[in-house]
Chain A
C-alpha cells in the first residue's frame, strides 16, 4: 500500500535504520539466585518476523520487554541496528511495543489513542490528528475514529493498537501475545493480517506467543524457549522437521521421541537399541553420538505406518509394538495414540485413505513402523526431565 501514508513526517529518511536485534549473553534476574532468562544469545535479522515461542513463565516476555526497554538486563548486551540500547528509554530505541490485551486508553477516542505517541513527541494537535487519520485509513478504521475503545470489537481494538504502535514508524515492532485475546476465527484472520503487514512494512517484528501453529505460520525465525533458555532458534520448517532437543520435538508436536543406547554405525546409518529391546536406524548426520552413549531420536508422526499385529512375534527393526489407546478424527488424517509402555504415548497420524484401508480401534494390538530416513538424532538425550509440552498440538 501507500508507504508515504505511514511516514510520521516528510523528514523521515528514505533508508530506514536497520532493525537487526542482537542479544549477547543476556541474563535477567528479578531475585538473587534465580533467573528469568540466562545467557541468551540471539540475532534477529533486520526485516524478519521472529516468534518467541514457549510456555508461560519461560522468559519470552522478559526478553521482549528487555528489547523494548521496559526491563533492564542484569548483564549482557542488547543492540538494535548495531547500536547498544541498554539503558536507553524505549523512545530512543526506535522500537514500539504492542501490549498484551492492547492497553488502549479507555478515556481517549480511537483517533487520540492512535495520535498518542505523536503527542508525547510534541507533534501539534492538527498534525498528529491528520497522521492518525491516515494511519486509521490504512487499517480501515477511519469510520470509527470518534469511538472509545470499549465500543470496539476485539479485532478492531487489535488494529487500533497496531496503528498506535506503528504511527511513529518504528524499526522494530514488539508484539506481546497479540492474538491471545481473540477468538479462534479472528485469530486466524488477524494472523494473516499481521504477516502481510510485516511483509509490506519490511520492519522487524518480534512476536511472543505460546501457540505453536501461530509461530510456525508467521515466523521467519522461530525461537523455542524453555525455562529461561533458548532451545532452538531456526526457521519454522527446521524447527518442525529437525528439532534438536527432545523438548523442542515434543513442544512443537508432530514428533515421537525415542531414547536408547547407540550400538554402532554401519555406513550412513546409526543403530540404536531401546531399553525394551527394540532397535532402529537413522541417518547418522554431522556429529553422531558415540557408541555406548544414551541418545534420543525423533520420528515424525505422519511418517508412521500402522499394521495390525496378531502374533506375539519378534519386533522387526524400525518399529514399536503397542496397543491403540484412542483414535481422533482430524479431517485429512486420523490421530492414533498408542500405548507402548513408554512414559510418553506414541502417536501416529495416519492419512485418511490409509486409515480407511486398514482401520484400527481402541484396544487393537498394532505395530508402528517407519523408514530410517524419517528419523533424526537429537543433540540431547531425553532424560525425562525435559520440559513437558505445554500444549500438545497434534499436527
Chain B
C-alpha cells in the first residue's frame, strides 16, 4: 500500500495537524472565558442579592438604614424616564434614518452626517452627561429634573436607534418601493405605507435595544444630578428623580455589608427588566427574519 498519501512529509503533516488541534483547544478555552465570566457574574449577584429580594424592595423608599430600604422611587423613575424618552427618541431616530436612507442625496453633507453619527456612537457616555448638564440643566433651566435626564439619554441613544433603523430600512427590497411608486404613490406615501411597515419590527428591535442601554446607563445621570435620596415619586417633568442604576451605585458605595446585599438585589431587578426587554427584541427579530 505505497500510495501517494504516504510520502516523506508524513511526519510534517502530523505535526501541523497536532498544532491545529492544540490551538483549537486554546481557542475554545479563550471563548469559554467570556461565557464563564458571565456565569460568575450572575452567580455572584444571585448569591449576594437573592436574600434581599423581598417586597420591601419594590414598595419602600430608600432610607439611611439598610433594613426595610427599597428602590420604589428608582424603579418608578426609570420607568418614567423610559416613557418620556421612547416617543422622542423614536421620532428623532427613525426620522433621521428615513431621511438618510430615502431622501438624502449622495453628497458630502450626507456623508458628513453619517460619519458624525458613527463618531457620536463612540463618544463616552459621561461626555453626554457634561452636555446634558450644560444644555438642559443650566441653559434651558430644566434643573436636575426628569426632563433633563430623559433628554440627555435621548441624545445618548439616538446614534444606536439611527444606525439600526437604517439597517432595517435598507433591508426592504427595492422592488417593494417600485411596486408602490408604480401605483402612483408619492415618495412619502411609499415610505409611510410600504417601507416603514416592512421594516417596523427591525426598527423596533433597535429601539428596544437602545432603551435597554438607556435603562442601565449611570454616568450621564450622575452628571446631571439624579443622585440623592428620593423618597417621593416624581409627579411632574420638572421633579427631581433617581433611577435604578444610580440607586444601585449609591448602595454599592456604602461600606456596610447590608447595603452590598441591597445593591445586589437591586441588580437582580435591573437585570430581570433588561432580560425581558432583550427577550422581546429577540422575539421581534425572529418575526422579522421570517418575513423575508
Q: Are A and B subunits of one complex?
A: no
